[in-house]
Structure 1
Amino acid sequence: MSLLSIQNVSKSFTQDQQYLNVLKNIDIDIQQGEFISIVGSSGCGKSTLLRLIAGLDLDYDGEILLNQAPIKGPDLKRGLIFQEHRLLPWLSVTENIGLALAETPLSTREKSKLIQQHIDMVGLKGFEQAYPHQLSGGMAQRVAIARGLVNKPDILLLDEPFGALDAITRSTLQKELQHIWEREKITMILITHDIEEAVFLGDRVIVMSARPGQIHQIIDVNVKHPRHKEDQTLFHIRNQALANLHH
């Protein structure tokens, strides 16, 4: 049984008195614990699809089911991480992560324990009381990842989470995200322009066509984790995905 079922989803809107069809007939079932990468050219509707899954936009045709129930808005079952870390500058690392637990019934002690576990998980032990301006871009994004995971969501949605980082930091965080996913067994959906990143992390890579966004191809990445970017199988799958994207 699928954790997330996207059934015949289409999305359109009007801009400058023009009718724009953004997504068309998207159908996909995602299983518990899968890592799904979605790639496509700019404007193909990748981020729009992620917003629909997050429940940030309910104006669409079709149906999106989480655990067989329709998504009716944002909730704690779906964590969301953006390209910008979106930390509040006047709050410490601990306080920023704790924001995700504000609406939970946990005790203060339980919250503190969870926050510390996730600070340790993303490699920021010792920076609990640091403020965003004291962190590098990569460290700030680690805080955002910890905040997205701390309330144990069913799905973590990642919208170009490493797009603003330098190449070395990006590669490091890709490997760390792979380890977190392996350890936590949480379902993840990644939007990215980086084909290598999509193949390195994903169990399946969904290649979307240009607007209106449709699923052009789904590529299985049958390579065991932990993976290494030098793996020749990954290299060939990357080239396959790239060829489909250009097509």
Structure 2
Amino acid sequence: MKRGLFTIIGVATGAVGAVVLAPVALTMAGFTSAGIAAGSLAASMMSSAAIANGGGVAAGSLVALLQSAGAAGLSAGAAAAVASVGGAAGAVVGGAADLLSHSKRPPSPEEEDDEEEEEMEMTQELIVDLRWIPVITLIATGAAAAGAIVAAPAVLTAAGFTAGGIAAGSLASSLMSAAAVANGGGVAAGGVVAALQSAGAAGIPLAGQAIVGAVGATVGAVVSMASNYTV
């Protein structure tokens, strides 16, 4: 198995999983769409925050932000942050799996004949393997995931998928025309053009943010790891 594959899988899985599971975790903690659930962790946090602030929960505080996310869903910024953390965690786990999978390979006949050469080679390989989970890779993974989610709405608008509809003379307009021709005069519901225009008009849904974050995190990890092997 190629070195780095587990890291890439870990990055993508971590980014998607974090964004998808975050709403579930908020609900389980008691931050629900109907408010903070009685007797929950959220209720305990709210009580502590109220005592610390003289009787009320401060706007913009951690409890207020978590309840807002639980009631209305993750914002683009929150989804970006969650995807960054998930992608970085996935990079660490995947990098560790890469290290373990390549440290257990059987020695070659030449290495068996020369114990000293074997030890030297394995030491050098270990040093190289450790470079697959450097700080720069984690930073690149998180930044790319966050950047992709934050930039995606602007990219859609620039392409012509706007809140007011598809902009005339834009790339989106050309795609719509091509889709209409291919579908006998209309744009198919659920097609790429329809999905992109829906995201441009109403915002990217949670599943879309997870995919965008995963793609961004994966690209960031691959670029960073490739640069590590060219220095």
TM-score for the superposition, normalised by structure 1? 0.24
Whichever of the two has the greater Rg, that structure is 2
Please identify which structure carries the higher helix content. Answer: 2
Structure number with the bigger relative contact order (C-alpha 8 A, sep ≥ 6) is 2
